[in-house]
Chain A
Amino acid sequence: MRILIVEDEEKLAGNVAKVLRQLLDAAVDISIDGRDGCHMAISEPYDAVILDLMLPKMDGLSVLHELRKQDVFTPVLILTAKNGTENVIAGLNAGSDDYLTKPFEMAELVARVQALVRRSYNRPTPDIRVGELTIDLNTREARAREHVMQLRPLEFALLEYLSLRVGTTVSKTDILEHLYDFNAETFSNVVEVYISRLRKELRRLKKPCRIHTVRGMGYRLEPA
């Protein structure tokens, strides 16, 4: 899951990023001004954008308008100190998907971001079943027949991403873009390494589902 935070309070953005990385194994980018944030949101395939309204260079609502004009339909959560119903309505009507006012509860923000991402992949419930494997996005566990998969954060993030798009073939680039933030250094074979790690764990659990390699295209998670 990859998330963009557009927020000029660097400290606040850093805190949110820290929590999202910790709790959701998310790849998080931060932009401290509206113009940069807008460019990033357009050029990178984020799963969600957390957007402040009062931003230098370009205000939040303009960013939102620009995104929607460019057919970027990434879920956007407005996180602002501007409260009041009219501001909330203006924000939602400008094309945002959610609105949260500062000061906020970190746990609530995390839950809202999760819900937005799930919804955008058409997964209303937090546990996704693929064959006999259940992937719980809240507890961040994957289990089959009372056995829990032993996964490192990035491995779970990969499984999460594949399960959100279950049944479709996901390219390697796509996976890299969703697992790593802007500043991460990745190696070309990192995806293969994680896929083989996942397969090993699935085998250990007696193959509740399988990851299919589509040659030249990518990978597909499907029921066994």
Chain B
Amino acid sequence: MSISLRTRVVTTVVLLIALVVLVTLAVAYREMVEAMYYAIDQIVLRDAKVVRTELLAGNADTRNDTQRLSEITKVLSGTDRIHSPLYRIWIEGESNDLLASDSPSTGRYRALADVPLPSLAEEKKHQITTITAEGREYRALAMFVTFPDSTQIVNAVIATPCDYALHEIEEFRRFMLILGGIVIVVAGAVAALLVLGAMRPVGALADRLRKITHQNLSDSSIDYTSIPSDLRPFAESVSTMLDRLGEAFEQQKRFTADAAHELRSPLAVAKSTIQATLSMPAGERDYLDMARSELEDLLRMEHLIEQLLVLARLEEETSTPKDNIELQDLLDESVAPFKESSRGISVVLDEPVPQVLVQGYRDELLRLLFNLIDNAVRHGPIDGIVTVGAELCGDQCVRITVHDEGGNIPPEAIPHLAERFYRADASRTRATGGAGLGLAIAAEIVQRHGGRIEIQSSPEDGTLITVTLAIC
């Protein structure tokens, strides 16, 4: 099962925020702990300095210990101290302490004995260590004092409890955990809202798309105002896709409707002929007339169905490779069926034809030329001339022209001529024949060959259809 995009985005955002918050808090916590220990160590060092100063205040000979020690006691247990320090001062080699803060029997006191004394060479060097006594933590410093005029060495160990600092650290940690939790939760919620908000138009779009069927394709426009700008290209491409589909569908529907209409007309004629003959007393001649008339209608329908099939087939993709066809052959073959054409129209091939090869499908190109010439023959004036010609345009292509002397196509009709079932005068009169598919088929074939078809028509110059095809 795939995890939804929303969940993924929200989870990622929350995890990232949590990571940042946790790292920040961890660093802050470390700094805080360091700072607190540093502060305690400063106190220990200050105490040590006092002790040293006081011990050195007199000289060893004076040995006015009592006075000195009372000074030290006064300093170490001064009123400005919140935490009672531990201390022990004794003369090297003697077992009795000069000074002790507490009863020697307590664990606190014993812990002081564990603090290692610095070596003799390191008199000025202070190393602060952490000791634990009776469950409390202390920072302890061991030191010794040598007197310049005596061999006597006085040792001292001073320890300051860390309770206060630990308490502060603990409080800070708790505060940070709560704050971090809140930040993560709030950030997660905000991220989720943002993501959900950002996704809503997509959901809405999906809802809209779900409701689209082939019936409402054309009126399924998408409201862009609610869609964030970064999703707009997506929405737009969906919209244009729908438009394209709608158009194709519309076209298909129109085509089917047109085809049905075109088939229904000859059918209606055929039916009416039969019914008219049957509705009244009729002799042999009437039936013969009816049969002849029916045959005519059937041929018309057959032609129409054939044309429709040609169009349908032209729309299919073909994988067969194109042939190289001699233009001369192609034009000769196209003109041949019209050598004895009706209505006194003569079809003339304008020689010489450029000796080139055209790339394409032979059958289709023949049909293309047949349709164009047939059109010209049917729409040109009686006893006129239809001229078929070809000329090179550069060394890439050839222009094939079919000209008739008619030229009565209204200018506004020209862009529609290649539309299916289009007839220039909207006429359904069959005098000029055709189902209105000839030029549509021609245009389709030209398009399949990557060519171009142009139609020019004027009463003075007649109608000229130019097909441009690539040569090889």
Contact = CB atoms under 8 A, between A and B. Distances in A.
Contact of A19 (B261, B268, B279, B293): B279
B73 to A, nearest CB: 113
Contact of A54 (B268, B280, B293, B426): B426
Contact of B264 (A8, A55, A81): A81
A148 B199 CA distance: 87
A26 B224 CA distance: 63
A33 B426 CA distance: 11
A57 interface: yes
Contacts of A10: 429
Interface in B247-304: 261, 264-265, 267-273, 275-276, 279-280, 293, 297
A15 interface: yes
Interface string B419-435: 00000011111100000
A9 to B, nearest CB: 5
A33 B425 CA distance: 11
A103 B264 contact: yes
A83 B269 CA distance: 16
Interface string A135-150: 0000000000000000
A52 B163 CA distance: 108
Q: Is the interface of A mostly helix, strand, loop or mixed?
A: loop
Given A9-B268, A9-B269, A15 B428 contact: no
Nearest to B296: A11
Nearest to B273: A15
Contacts of A59: 426
A124 B114 CA distance: 131
Given A11-B273, A22-B279, A22-B280, A103 B268 contact: yes
Nearest to B430: A9
Interface residues of B, number: 22
A131 interface: no
A106 B428 contact: no
A14 to B, nearest CB: 8
Contact of B272 (A16, A23, A57): A16
Contacts of A11: 269, 272-273, 293, 297
B428 to A, nearest CB: 4
Contact of B429 (A23, A56, A106): A56
Q: Is the interface of B mostly helix, strand, loop or mixed?
A: helix
B427 A8 contact: yes
B275 A9 contact: no
A8 B268 contact: no
A204 interface: no
B429 A104 contact: no
Highest count of chain A CB atoms <10 Å: which of B280, B427, B430: B427
A22 B427 CA distance: 29
Contact of A81 (B265, B272, B273, B429): B265
Nearest to A59: B426
Contacts of B271: 103-104, 106
A215 interface: no
A93 B104 CA distance: 120
A38 B411 CA distance: 26
A217 interface: no
Contacts of A83: 264
A12 B269 contact: yes
A32 B267 CA distance: 18
Highest count of chain B CB atoms <10 Å: which of A22, A103, A104: A103
A118 interface: no
A9 B272 CA distance: 11
Highest count of chain A CB atoms <10 Å: which of B267, B297, B428: B428
Contact of B275 (A52, A81, A106): A106
Highest count of chain B CB atoms <10 Å: which of A19, A22, A81: A81
Nearest to A54: B428
B268 A12 contact: yes
Highest count of chain A CB atoms <10 Å: which of B271, B275, B280, B429: B275
B261 A82 contact: yes
Given A8-B427, A56-B426, A106 B279 contact: yes
Given A9-B265, A9-B269, A15-B269, 9 more contacts: A19-B276, A22-B279, A81-B261, A81-B265, A102-B264, A103-B271, A104-B268, A106-B276, A107-B279
25 contacts: A9-B268, A9-B269, A9-B428, A9-B430, A11-B273, A12-B268, A19-B275, A19-B280, A22-B280, A54-B426, A54-B428, A55-B427, A59-B426, A81-B261, A81-B264, A81-B265, A83-B264, A102-B264, A102-B267, A103-B264, A103-B272, A104-B271, A106-B275, A106-B279, A107-B275
Interface of B: 261, 264-265, 267-273, 275-276, 279-280, 293, 297, 425-430
The 3 residue pairs across chains A and B that have the minimum distance between CB atoms: A102-B268, A56-B427, A106-B275
